[in-house]
Structure 1
Amino acid sequence: MNKEMRLQQIKQLISEQEVKTQEELQHLLFKKGLTVTQATISRDIHTLKLIKVQTKDGSLKYSSKIEEENLISDKLNSNKLRRKLMEDLVSLEVIEYFVLLKTLPGNAHSFGALLDSLELEGKAGTICGNDTCLIICRSRESATRIKEQMEGFINDLD
C-alpha cells in the first residue's frame, strides 16, 4: 500500500473512532493489513497535521486540525445565523425541495453566505436575491428538517 492510501486509512480511522495513541493507531492499521513502524506513524501524523483534542471524558484523541477549525467556524457562523434570523427574517416556508426565506430588503445575500458556510445535511446550495433566499435541498425531508433547524435557532434565542 502506498503512502497516500495509508494516510487515507489514518484519516478514516480517526474520523470513525477515538484514537488516543500512536500505538493504538499502529494496532488499528495492523488489523487493516498494514504493518507500519512507530516512526512512520509519527511522520504520517505530522504530514496530516493531526492534533490532540479533548474527548468528552477528558482524555485526548487525534483529530484533524482542519476538522477542528471547521467546527469552530461552523459554531461562529451558526451564532451569526441565529442573530440574523432574529433580526432580518420576515418568513420561512418549505416548498417541495426548497426552503424559502423572505428577509428584510438587502439581507438575502448575507443569509446565503452564512448558509453556504454551514454544513447543513441535505443542503445542495442557495440562490439569493435582494430579499429572498432559496435553500435548495436534496429531498423534501431535508427541506423540512432544515426549516425545523432554522426555527430551532430562532427559538433558542427567545
Structure 2
Amino acid sequence: MKKEKRQRLIRELVKEHKIDTQEKLVELLAERDVIVTQATVSRDIRELNLIRAASPQGLMIYKSSSEKPFQTDLRLKKMLKEVVIKIDYVDQLTVIKTLPGNAHVIGAILDDLDWEEKIGCICGNDTCLVISRTISDRKLLEEKLNLPF
C-alpha cells in the first residue's frame, strides 16, 4: 500500500479507535492487510502531526493535533466569501482566483480539511489550483465548496 493511502487509513483508525501505542496501530493496520513496522508507523505519526492526548477515561491516546473540522469548515466558508473572486472548473481541476496574496490561505485551509475529493493544492499569489483524481471527485468538491459564483 502506498504511503498516502496508509496514512489516510491511519487517520481513520485514530478517529475510530482509542489507540494508545504504536504497536496497537501496527496491529490494527495488519488486520486490514497493511503490514508495516513500528518504525514506519512512528514516521507516519510524526508526518501526520498526531499527538497523544488524554481520553475521557484518562488513557493517553493518539489524536490529530489539527483536527477541528467544524472550525476549519467555518473558516473556509468565511475566507471564500471574503477573498474569492471567481472559481472555474476544468476536468478534474478547480481554479480558485482570489484577491492578491490570499490564494495560499485558501490552499492551506483546504489542506487542513483533508477532503478525499482532492489530491492537493498548488497556490500562487492570487490563484489556487485544486487537483482531484477524477471528474466525479471534482464535482463532489464543487458541491462541498457550495459557492455562489
User: TM-score, normalised to structure 2's length?
Assistant: 0.58
More helix by share: 1
Unpaired segments ≥5 residues, structure 2: 1-20, 32-51
Corresponding residue of 1:66: 63
Aligned pair count? 107
Tell me how far apart the structure 1 counterparts of residues 102 and 83 of structure 2 sit (CA, whole Å).
7
Tell me how far apart the structure 2 counterparts of residues 87 and 12 of structure 1 sit (CA, whole Å).
45
The alignment partner of 2:97 has SS state of strand
Tell me how far apart the structure 2 counterparts of residues 76 and 63 of structure 1 sit (CA, whole Å).
24
Tell me how far apart the structure 2 counterparts of residues 103 and 150 of structure 1 sit (CA, whole Å).
15
The answer (yes or no) to whether the contact 2:84–2:99 under 8 Å persists in 1 is: yes
Q: Structure 2 vs 1, CA of residues 104 and 6 (structure 1 numbering), >3 Å: closer, same or farther?
A: closer
- Match for 2:96 among 101, 126, 146? 101
Tell me how far apart the structure 1 counterparts of residues 88 and 76 of structure 2 sit (CA, whole Å).
17
Tell me how far apart the structure 2 counterparts of residues 116 and 131 of structure 1 sit (CA, whole Å).
17
**1:87 Cα deviation after fit:** 0.7
Unpaired segments ≥5 residues, structure 1: 14-47, 54-61
The alignment partner of 2:95 has SS state of strand
- Match for 2:55 among 39, 51, 54? 51
**1:9 Cα deviation after fit:** 3.5
**1:138 Cα deviation after fit:** 1.1
Corresponding residue of 1:126: 121
Tell me how far apart the structure 1 counterparts of residues 30 and 145 of structure 2 sit (CA, whole Å).
31
Corresponding residue of 2:79: 84
Measured on the aligned residues, the alpha-carbon RMSD in Å equals: 3.1
User: TM-score, normalised to structure 1's length?
Assistant: 0.55
Q: Structure 2 vs 1, CA of residues 9 and 90 (structure 1 numbering), >3 Å: closer, same or farther?
A: same
**1:88 Cα deviation after fit:** 0.8
The answer (yes or no) to whether the contact 1:52–1:63 under 8 Å persists in 2 is: no
The alignment partner of 1:111 has SS state of helix
Tell me how far apart the structure 2 counterparts of residues 141 and 98 of structure 1 sit (CA, whole Å).
11
